[in-house]
Amino acid sequence: MIVNEFSCPKTTTTTTTTTTTTKLTDNYEAEEFLKNNSERIESTDKPTNNIKQDDYDLEVIFEKKNEIFICDICCETVNQKSQCLNGHLYCLACLDKLLKKENPSCPTCKIELSEKTIAKSLLYDTILGNEKVKCPYYNRHQDQLYKSVESMSSSLAKTINNSSVYSGFGNLSTFSKNSSNSKISYNDLIETGFAEDDLSDSDGEWLPCEIMTYKYFKETHMHQCQYRMIKCDCFQGMFFFELKEHKNSCVKQQYKCLHCSTEFQKKNQFLHFSLCQNILIFCSEPECHEKVKRSELDYHLENNCQFKEIYCGIPDCKEKLKRRDLINHLSNSHPYEVSSLSKSAIELEAIKKELNTLKKKEESQENNLLNNIIHAVWIDNNMFNKMVEWTALGCHGAFKCERYSNEIQASIEINSLSFYNQFSFIIGLCTNEKMVDSVKDTPRVKFKGIPDNFEYVKLFIIKKESQK
């Protein structure tokens, strides 16, 4: 791109060739951007929103069939039984029905039944607790897994059977868990190219739950099993082992911004990074590839950006050019003005130094004055228009303030002329923190334009001998 830098009457025309490159803008919705600019807040709480886990059949999870766990009335396998006085066992549901009948009795021994004669069988609980069982959650996971594989098998079979170049398994319309028969097996699917990751947990393998006692299952395992069903805060149901991987994409997962420490949910990722004032963004000038904080972009454009177009600044010159070209423009087009500005800058620097010296001297004198204060009298808002009597070094006097709409008149009166020769005075407007206005060496003064934070007027009496 060819840029004509100068258009003033004094301009010597030069050209600059600029190569522009496309800036890569940040994708605030990308997973990689989220990973690099925030940290995931890991919850220390254990999942409490477990889906109800009791929907399994006891008969199915027993490693061996045992008729002792079958109720003699309903013929169902039950996890709790009660007994009559002779020790005959029935499930609670059947006993409740018997008790509702007229003259209820035990179906086996015909002994009378009542709420007082029925008791929970602790022996049954012990026998059931020691019975070996298989984890129902792992079995459920396996069933869902093979249903998924069977579905993929059907899809694969349709594709292969319709292909004229395939000469492999024959008819693939049926799937079997058993790889030894003539039907397509899980291992066959893996060999044909299905991604094994699609059929396994996050670690790439299935770890079956071991055979355990029913008591251990109820008291411990059912609350820790990796195959139990849970529900995330986003209301999506899943196996527990899937939760960690799910958190990477969960819309309600909490993150903490590395730039401003604000916490936000993943679903608000784009919104937060689009508004975060501390995040680094590219300058809005197309040719500038510098990154600045979003909150500092305006300052960067106003003061630092070398590609921002600005006016020359010399009176009568209307040239508008990029900041990086300003020095060349001034040197070539306005050498006299630049020389004058340089001299003015040197003079201005000298004036600044002189002002600093005077300021320090004034502060030193003020400190000396304040260090030699021998007496002070103050008048607040409640004491205006009254004479305040005071005595210093044996000299009697009075201090009075009168307040008007936009001014205050303050005066001092003393009865000794020699007092003026020995001492000086400072009358000042004060706040609780400092003096906001003052007049020195005068017995009468006016303060106009009273500041809003004014609280009282104070008189300082200072030894003249100590002044330098």
Asked if 344 and 397 sit in the same domain, the reply is: no
In a domain, 55, yes or no: no
Give the confidence band of 292 by pLDDT, cuts at 50, 70, 90: very high
The pLDDT value recorded for residue 7 is 38
The pLDDT value recorded for residue 222 is 85
In a domain, 279, yes or no: no
Q: What letters, b where the CB count within 10 A reaches 16 and e where it falls short, cover 71-99?
A: beeeeebbeebbbbeeebbbbeebbeebe
In a domain, 349, yes or no: yes
Burial of 149 (0-12, 13-18, 19+ CB in 10 A): buried
The pLDDT value recorded for residue 3 is 37
Lowest mean pLDDT across 79-88, 162-171, 229-238, 314-323: 162-171
Lowest mean pLDDT across 61-75, 143-157, 426-440: 143-157
Residues 467 and 441: their CA atoms lie apart, in Å, by 12
In a domain, 321, yes or no: no
The mean pLDDT value for 194-214 works out to 61
The pLDDT value recorded for residue 368 is 63
3-class state of residue 331 by DSSP:
helix
The mean pLDDT value for 30-35 works out to 90
Asked if 406 and 453 sit in the same domain, the reply is: yes
The yes-or-no verdict on residue 280 having pLDDT over 90 is yes
Residues 195 and 336: their CA atoms lie apart, in Å, by 77
The pLDDT value recorded for residue 50 is 57
Give the confidence band of 163 by pLDDT, cuts at 50, 70, 90: low
- Is 375:392 a contact under the CB 8 Å cutoff? yes
441: domain CATH number? Answer: 2.60.210.10
Give the confidence band of 390 by pLDDT, cuts at 50, 70, 90: confident
The pLDDT value recorded for residue 293 is 94
Span 93-118, pLDDT tens digits:
899 999 888 889 999 999 988 888 88
The pLDDT value recorded for residue 389 is 84
CA 233, distance to chain mean position in Å, is 18
Asked if 75 and 122 sit in the same domain, the reply is: yes
In a domain, 398, yes or no: yes
Q: What percent of the chain has pLDDT over 70?
A: 74
The yes-or-no verdict on residue 371 having pLDDT over 80 is no
The pLDDT value recorded for residue 456 is 86
In a domain, 74, yes or no: yes
pTM, two decimals, is 0.46
CA dihedral 203, 205, 209, 211 (to 10 degrees): -150
Query: What Rg do the C-alpha atoms of the chain give, in angstroms?
Result: 47
Span 298-313, pLDDT tens digits:
999 999 999 999 888 7
Lowest mean pLDDT across 126-135, 158-167, 231-240, 333-342: 158-167
The mean pLDDT value for 2-6 works out to 37
The mean pLDDT value for 47-58 works out to 63
In the predicted model, what is the mean pLDDT of the chain? 77
Q: Which pair of structure tokens corresponds to residue 147?
A: 């249903």
Give the confidence band of 167 by pLDDT, cuts at 50, 70, 90: very low
Domain boundary among 108, 133, 158: 133
The pLDDT value recorded for residue 434 is 79
Q: Which long-range contacts does 278-285 make (Cβ < 8 Å, 24+ apart)?
A: 279/37, 281/26, 282/23, 282/25, 283/307
DSSP state of 175: B
Asked if 459 and 385 sit in the same domain, the reply is: yes
Residues linked to residue 380 through DSSP beta bridges, in sequence order: 456
Give the confidence band of 282 by pLDDT, cuts at 50, 70, 90: very high
Q: Which of 183-187, 245-249, 299-303, 436-440 has the highest mean pLDDT?
A: 299-303
The yes-or-no verdict on residue 24 having pLDDT over 50 is yes
Q: Which domain, by its residues, includes 403?
A: 372-463
The yes-or-no verdict on residue 2 having pLDDT over 50 is no
The mean pLDDT value for 68-83 works out to 88
In a domain, 127, yes or no: yes
The pLDDT value recorded for residue 53 is 59
The mean pLDDT value for 430-434 works out to 78
Asked if 386 and 449 sit in the same domain, the reply is: yes
- Is 69:290 a contact under the CB 8 Å cutoff? no
**Residue keyed to tokens 């799910």:** 246
CA geometry: angle 56, 59, 61, nearest 5 deg = 65
Span 210-258, pLDDT tens digits:
899 999 998 889 888 888 888 887 888 888 888 888 888 888 888 999 9
115: domain CATH number? Answer: 3.30.40.10
List C-alpha distances in Å: 162 to 153, 157, 165, 309, 407: 14, 8, 9, 66, 102
Asked if 104 and 168 sit in the same domain, the reply is: no
Lowest mean pLDDT across 189-198, 275-284, 420-429: 189-198
Asked if 128 and 145 sit in the same domain, the reply is: no
Asked if 444 and 387 sit in the same domain, the reply is: yes
Residues 264 and 49: their CA atoms lie apart, in Å, by 22
Start-end of H helices in 113-229: 122-129, 136-161, 186-191, 214-216, 222-224
In a domain, 39, yes or no: no
Give the confidence band of 170 by pLDDT, cuts at 50, 70, 90: very low
Asked if 141 and 114 sit in the same domain, the reply is: no
Host H or E run for residue 456: strand 456-463
- Structurally, the chain folds into a number of domains equal to 4
Domain boundary among 133, 152, 176: 133
Domain boundary among 183, 208, 233: 208
